[in-house]
Structure 1
Amino acid sequence: MVSVRGWLQCDDEQLAQIKEIVEADDPQRTYSGGWAFPARQYNHVRWAFYGGDIRAVSLDWFQERVRRIARIPASHQDDEFDARPRGLFLVSHDVQGMSEWRVYNGGLVIGLPDGDYRYLDA
């Protein structure tokens, strides 16, 4: 099993697209049940959270969903920073240990955790 927990920040239009991606191709609604979208979002940033255990054989499927979300375009141009969805996921594999998934600049970068998150890897 693989434990996945993390978050994404985005805007209203992107949040609607994230929800479409989450619901589009999980007919048994197995892993989409791990997504949470606060009912009352405030200020200008919107949030999507994920927490759940996934079978290791389904991790590639989940990873592709996150890559699709990462590629959602910016709703508006901002010269100061990339306004596409951004976020962080910690992924703990029973055998391979923990990895960090960073969502930014339209992509997903997977690597070793940048911080000390070992206390979560139990």
Structure 2
Amino acid sequence: MVSVRGWLECDDEQLAQIEEIVEADDPQRTYSGGWAFPPRQYNNGNWAFYGGNIRAVSLDWFEERLRQIAQIPASYPDGEYDERPRGLFLLSHDVDGMSEWRVCNGGLVIGLPDGDDHYLDA
């Protein structure tokens, strides 16, 4: 099993697209129930969260969802900053240990955690 927990930050338009991606999954798919969207977003930003335990053989499903989300374009492409969805997920694998998945710059970067997050690897 792999314990997955993390968040995405985005704007209003992107949040609607993220919700569409999540809702497009088969309603019987157990793991899509790990997504949470606060009913009241505030302070110029929107958040989507994921938390759950996934079988290692199903990680491809989660990776594909994050890659789809990462490719959502900036709502205002002429802005000063790269304003595509971004976020951080920590994964604790029963066998392979901990990894960090970063949604940034239109892609997904998978690597080892940079910080002292190993206290979460239980």
TM-score normalized with structure 2 length = 0.96
State the match for 1:55 in structure 2: 55
Where in structure 1 are there 5+ consecutive unaligned residues? Answer: none
Where in structure 2 are there 5+ consecutive unaligned residues? Answer: none
Identity in percent: 83
State the match for 1:21 in structure 2: 21
**Letter in structure 2 aligned against 1:59:** L
Q: Which moved more, 1:92-101 or 1:27-36?
A: 27-36
Q: Following superposition of structure 1 onto structure 2, how do residues 31-46 of structure 1 map, counting pairs within 5 Å? A: 31-46=31-46
- How many angstroms apart in 2 are the aligned matches of 1:85 and 1:117? 22
Q: Which moved more, 1:22-31 or 1:8-17?
A: 22-31
Alpha-carbon RMSD across the aligned residues, in angstroms, is 1.0
SS of the residue corresponding to residue 31 of structure 1 reads helix
- How many angstroms apart in 2 are the aligned matches of 1:66 and 1:77? 20
State the match for 1:92 in structure 2: 92
- How many angstroms apart in 1 are the aligned matches of 2:70 and 2:5? 16
**Letter in structure 2 aligned against 1:107:** G
- How many angstroms apart in 1 are the aligned matches of 2:81 and 2:24? 29
State the match for 1:10 in structure 2: 10
Q: Following superposition of structure 1 onto structure 2, how do residues 64-75 of structure 1 map, counting pairs within 5 Å? A: 64-75=64-75
Instruction: Report the count of equivalent residues.
Output: 122
The answer to whether the 8 A contact 2:25-2:32 is kept is no
**Letter in structure 2 aligned against 1:51:** G
Cα drift, residue 44 of structure 1: 1.2
Moved over 3 A (4+): none
Cα drift, residue 48 of structure 1: 0.3
